[in-house]
Amino acid sequence: DTGVSQDPRHKITKRGQNVTFRCDPISEHNRLYWYRQTLGQGPEFLTYFQNEAQLEKSRLLSDRFSAERPKGSFSTLEIQRTEQGDSAMYLCASSLRDDSESSGANVLTFGAGSRLTVL
Amino acid sequence: GESVGLHLPTLSVQEGDNSIINCAYSNSASDYFIWYKQESGKGPQFIIDIRSNMDKRQGQRVTVLLNKTVKHLSLQIAATQPGDSAVYFCAESPVIQGAQKLVFGQGTRLTINP
């Protein structure tokens, strides 16, 4: 396992089109997260899954955004009717829930991201 | 509201010197803090973390200091190397064992000069 994989790495689309990003987490990780990062800023939380259940969604996630993790493994993030303001890096991360308090427990491992440019 | 920020957006250090990156947070309920390093074209990479019941934790060439009184976090990197050049983010979360809904700061770009 080489870590968290995201596809595509880059996507250029026209305003109004739909786009879908895929994330393959580290295989033994039961938690999966989506974050968004705009240029010069830190990542912002969008949503997370524990196994196949989507347990929390940020208010940043408008109704044009939908995320799924149907089998508790890979996840997709779809953006419908894209807007120029959606241009950003979409980062996926995964973690293994660990009830210990040791350093590094529950740490999110991030993928390289999918960069979206909406023209 | 929750916010995590950094005092300096850029920092330049001579190779071999020590560097200190600072971070201020505003959520007094935060229980867990973490530093990530992000190189160009890559996702954030874990460096070191610390819980609120500690004030210092050391790793390999890195030390994180937490001052809960003034809500301040710092990352010290010893004997900096060219590979340390990156953007460094601090982040906080209310819990360590629950979902990691991390709140990230803006980031500090560290440049190591040869």
Interface residue B70 vs chain A (CB under 8 A): no
What does the pLDDT look like over B28-57, one tens digit per residue? 888 889 999 999 989 999 999 998 999 999
For residues A104 and B89, the model is more confident at: B89
Share of chain B above pLDDT 90, in %: 70
Cα B105 to chain center, whole Å?
Answer: 9
CA–CA min distance A5, chain B (Å): 11
Give dist(CA A69, CA B63) in Å, integer: 37
The pLDDT assigned to B98 comes to 60
Q: Are A56 and A69 in contact (CB under 8 A)?
A: no
Q: Is residue B99 very low, low, confident or very high in pLDDT (cuts 50, 70, 90)? A: low
CA–CA min distance A34, chain B (Å): 10
What does the pLDDT look like over A74-89, one tens digit per residue? 999 999 999 999 999 9
- Chain A residue at shortest CA distance from B31: A101
